[in-house]
Structure 1
Amino acid sequence: MDSTLFQFLDKLKNNNNRIGLKNKSEFDLLNKQVKTYFQSVFDHHKNIFDWDNVKVFRIYRDVRFSKNKSPYKTHFGIAFHRLKPNHRGGFYVHLDPADSFIASGFWDPNKDDLFRMRKEIEMDHEYFRKKIEGSQVKKMWGEMKGEKLKTSPKGFDREHPANDLLQYKQYIFSKKVDHKTIFSHEFETFIIDHFKTLLPVLNYMGEVLNTNLDGESLL
């Protein structure tokens, strides 16, 4: 990818209106560049991660219910979706001149999935901690992140030794990426090396979500 991508996004951020995207051909060229790059990443590594598809999100914002009426996003978001129902969790790349990052995990689990994940942690929290606090995960990603409740979720013991994990509403890992890495030849390697370290976590939770509390398959 070319560094003109961030130059374009900076200009758009400073002039986020219909006039700001008057040079549509410039956007179309950069959008195609991003799509081509990440389609190549997908094609090269889809079998490792059991990816189903890759999506580059539209730059147009839905402003119908927002106080912010700026018509355009000032970043590119790229999501790698896995083959469901066997494989769960997702991978994401965020390209923003001011805040680029990669991420993986469970961003918005539905009510049933979140309950099942919490029950598994309740029953076997030491194994889950071992997965998310492994040396390679820590080295590559640091601590797990995500929105949390202020207290234990309903129906769970607030004195449980894994109450800190049960409070999570999301189970996410993210890492900031600098401009030099993004526009280097090593960016794809950087992405894949980081994503690989989280495969054991995602695959484990995928197995959990595909079984009931007795460990019987739901598929």
Structure 2
Amino acid sequence: MDVVGGFQGLDRDAVSFYAEVRAANTKTWWTANKARYNSAVREPFEALGAELEPEFGAVKIFRPYRDVRFSADKTPYKLHIGMVTQTTVKHYLQLSEDGLMLGGGMYELPPAALARFREAVDDPRRAEDLDELLAELGSAGFELLRDDVLKTAPRGYRADHPRLPLLQLKRLAVGRREPPADWMWTPDAYDVIADHWRTVSTWCDWLTETLAAELLDAAQPSGRGRSDPM
């Protein structure tokens, strides 16, 4: 990703932009504000991505259009812009009117990899290492994302398992939120975001090491695209 001029900070107007999208999510409004989207939202995000790529690998910036084919909500445009590394275990960044959401891990994974994760959770020795890692992530403000979890224990595990909340996970991702703040609109945003992504890397590294061969299945192209993972 080549960006002329380098990263000078995100644009404060991006927050207002997405607040206005929420209020007037129509093609007419978007067409009238497309140049503003490019200058205030996408171009700073592209510049940030170019700065992050040498350390974290190539990134993909998601398109602003929603996939409404199977959704009751037919509003055409997303209320955020998202960036994800093009790796099997990913780092993620999102900007919206609420500020930043930073995270990473695996949002979709093959059944064999999820089974391997549950085996690790059920292994007292390996689970102890996992508990320590999650505590470190928690002290840095990161939490496991618990959307779309099982309502009970997965098949083969006790309903009173001491680590039931981990066994219920179907997506292995962590995240933290940062409300709009002055540092985001300066070049210092790169340092803050990169440091948070380095924290995310400890989770990504654990997943990569623990799931090992099972992740090869996730690395194979499926022919399917997807929207933002978080």
Between stretches 144-153 and 60-69, larger displacement belongs to 144-153
**Partners of 2:202 and 2:11 in 1: CA distance:** 33
1:162 aligns with 2:163: yes
CA RMSD of aligned residues (A): 2.1
SS at match of 2:86: strand
SS at match of 2:77: coil
**Partners of 2:203 and 2:187 in 1: CA distance:** 28
1:10 aligns with 2:19: yes
**Partners of 1:20 and 1:58 in 2: CA distance:** 17
Amino acid corresponding to residue 95 of structure 2 in structure 1: L
| Contact 1:101–1:176 (8 Å) recurs in 2 | yes
**Partners of 2:20 and 2:211 in 1: CA distance:** 44
Q: Percent identity?
A: 23
Between stretches 59-68 and 151-160, larger displacement belongs to 151-160
The alignment's TM-score, normalised by the length of structure 1, stands at 0.81
The alignment's TM-score, normalised by the length of structure 2, stands at 0.77
Match of 1:186 in 2: 188
1:29 aligns with 2:39: yes
Cα distance, 1:177 vs. partner? 1.0
Structural mapping, 1:1-219, within 5 Å: 1-23=10-32, 24-30=34-40, 31-43=42-54, 45-46=55-56, 51=57, 53-82=58-87, 88-98=88-98, 100-123=100-123, 124-134=126-136, 137-147=137-147, 148-180=149-181, 181-211=183-213
Specify every segment of 5 or more residues in structure 1 that has no aligned partner in the other structure, as ranges.
83-87, 213-219
**Partners of 1:26 and 1:66 in 2: CA distance:** 27
Specify every segment of 5 or more residues in structure 2 that has no aligned partner in the other structure, as ranges.
1-9, 215-230
**Partners of 1:160 and 1:121 in 2: CA distance:** 10
